Structure 1
Amino acid sequence: MTYTNFQVGEKFPLPIKNQGDGGMFQIDANGCMFILQLSRTDIIAVEAFRTGAMELALYEEDGLLFFLYKIDGIFKDGWGDSPLGLHLLPPGMKPCIADLDDPVLHLYLVDTNLQILLAQRTVSLTPEFHQLLQKKVQEQLESSLSPGAFVNKLQDIWKRNTSKDMSEKALAKQKVELDIPAPPTLN
């Protein structure tokens, strides 16, 4: 098993095919991760990502799984969505269900223009959220949906639903509390 080193301020170590703003939800040997790419950020957005309150959700339609996210201090319009695109991966690149053994989600904020890691965070998933995620990923791994059919279904779902619509029909939701470290105590 290889381990990828993620360092804030360094070039993001994983290849990113889509260079636009938005989120990517993926699972690989490094575990479950959400990568948010933004072309314009400031210190408030970085700190909001690193320590702010968030809401996470899972939504499924037509056999496609969406990771939904709401990050206070970054998105004024509420929810964003990111489909899990396992159907687009070649067979040798697909994750195995063991990649989801650890009930944590790794979050990465990346500057789209420079491909620099601006912030990272690890969130513990609730047992309910984690178990549902494992179940839905296993179903996707067993699916025979072609990449073309995946893209067509995805476009149809996006025509009918906004991210907010999806959040209202989510299968599971989890709140992530504000996580500001306490200052060190003086002795």
Structure 2
Amino acid sequence: MSNYTRFEIGQTFPLAIHEQGDGGLFQVDANGTMFILQLAHTDVIAHEAFRTGAMEFALYKENGILFLLYQIDGIFKEGWGDAPLSLHAIPAEHQPTGKSLDEGILHLYLVDSNLRILLAQRDVPMNEGFQYVLRDYVENESVDEPAGDAFKKTVQKVWSRISSADMRKRAEAVMAVELDIPKAPSQMKH
């Protein structure tokens, strides 16, 4: 992640978010790979679940669009969410680079959708298969990605035809994120 942007819990989220409202946003750009979850109603349990809880992510491609599927224990009781990647909406100077694709980290941000405040953040390493599918899409397949209104219509068609759970069953890459609770100082080995 680029070091010129400051991400501080409790402060305004420093990046522009074009899609307002609750839901997930998936973005790959010159700063790296990001998943931004915007929620209007959260509590301390949800913040901790996002920061340290078990999660699962998957990548699914259909009609020239790559979808990030997500399931987060402690925030969603069941089911899968999905967020389509929209590279055509990223200005040319912010498009992903070889360096940003090589980083191998999925940056996770939980943002209050009403106040635009950063509530929690986490960085998780991508496994090799997940990173391969993402890189292949960005470098080779994104040229077929529909743009503008065609993108929105294509996403709506996909959503009307297949559920997020079915996308997950057909995903090309899956990444499990284990529970990550830091040990108390008294539990650490000396």
Q: TM-score scaled by structure 2?
A: 0.91
1:53-106 superposed Cα distances (whole Å, 9 cap, x missing partner)? 000100001111000100001011321000001123344443334321111100
Q: Aligned letter for 1:19?
A: Q
Q: Distance in 2 between matches of 1:173 and 1:141?
A: 20
Q: Which residue of 2 aligns with 1:27?
A: 28
Instruction: Name whichever of 154-163 and 90-99 sits farther off.
Output: 90-99
Task: Measure, in 1, the Cα distance between the counterparts of 2:121 and 2:147.
Answer: 33
Residue 47 (structure 1) aligns with = 48
Matches within 5 A, 1:16-165: 16-143=17-144, 145-165=146-166
- Residue ranges of structure 1 left out of the alignment (5+ in a row): none
CA contact (8 A) 1:10 1:116 kept: yes
Letter in 2 for 1:110: V
Query: AA paired with 1:62?
Result: N
Q: How many residues get paired?
A: 187
My pick for the range that moved more, 5-14 or 137-146, is 137-146
Q: 1:2 to 1:28 in 2, by over 3 A?
A: farther
Where does structure 2 lack aligned partners over 5 or more consecutive residues? none
Identity of aligned residues (%): 54
Deviations 1:16-37 (A, max 9, x none): 1222000001012321110000
SS at match of 2:186: coil
User: Is the 2:65–2:145 Cα contact (8 Å) retained in structure 1?
Assistant: no
Give the conservation status (yes or no) of the 8 Å contact 2:59–2:69. yes
Q: What amino acid does structure 1 have at the position aligned with 2:167?
A: M
Which amino acid counterpart does residue 185 of structure 1 have in structure 2?
S
Moved over 6 A (4+): none
Deviation at 1:136, TM superposition (A): 1.1
Match of 1:8 in 2: 9
Q: Give the partner amino acid of 1:149.
A: A
